[in-house]
Amino acid sequence: MATVEVSLKEIMTVVEGALGAALVDYSSGMALGTLGGGKDLDLTVAAAGNTDVIRAKVRTMEMLGLTSQIEDILITLGSQYHLIRLVTGRSGNGLFLYLVLDKSRSNLAMARHQLKRTEQQLEV
């Protein structure tokens, strides 16, 4: 099992094109840990904003009567991918991993694979 800090460091070093990563509590919108980002990528603001994305999707699924669980959500921008992966492990309920990638330098399939792996190893 890996701590939040170790997990975020692993994501940032293993995932090609990673610009920033965070672990977020989507009940409060608070980032429990962040790594990367910068003046053009405020991970704290992004964490709070993506909380609304998850809440909206969960509400929509409930209204539609869908019983499947969300694995991840992909937002594609002109030069970036934003990946949101819900943490489903025993200690991660209500949390999500958030990863921002440089679209020109990243492999989306590998990034999704790494987020899944990190989610399974995360100890909060």
pLDDT digits (tens, 9 = 90+) for 27-83: 899 999 999 998 889 999 999 999 999 999 989 999 999 999 889 999 999 999 999
Calculate the average pLDDT of the chain. Answer: 91
Q: What's the gap between Cα 88 and its chain centre? A: 12
How far is residue 20's CA from residue 12's CA, in Å, rounded to a whole number?
Answer: 7
> Is 0.85 topped by the overall pTM?
yes
Q: Is residue 19 exposed (0-12), middle (13-18) or buried (19+ Cβ within 10 Å)?
A: buried
CATH number at residue 12: 3.30.450.30
The answer to whether residues 24 and 51 touch, using CB atoms and an 8 Å cutoff, is yes
For residue 91, is pLDDT > 70?
no
The whole-number pLDDT of residue 90 equals 61
| Cα–Cα distance measured from residue 35 to residue 10, given in angstroms and rounded to the nearest whole number | 10
Range of the domain at 54: 4-107+116-120
Domain count, the chain: 1
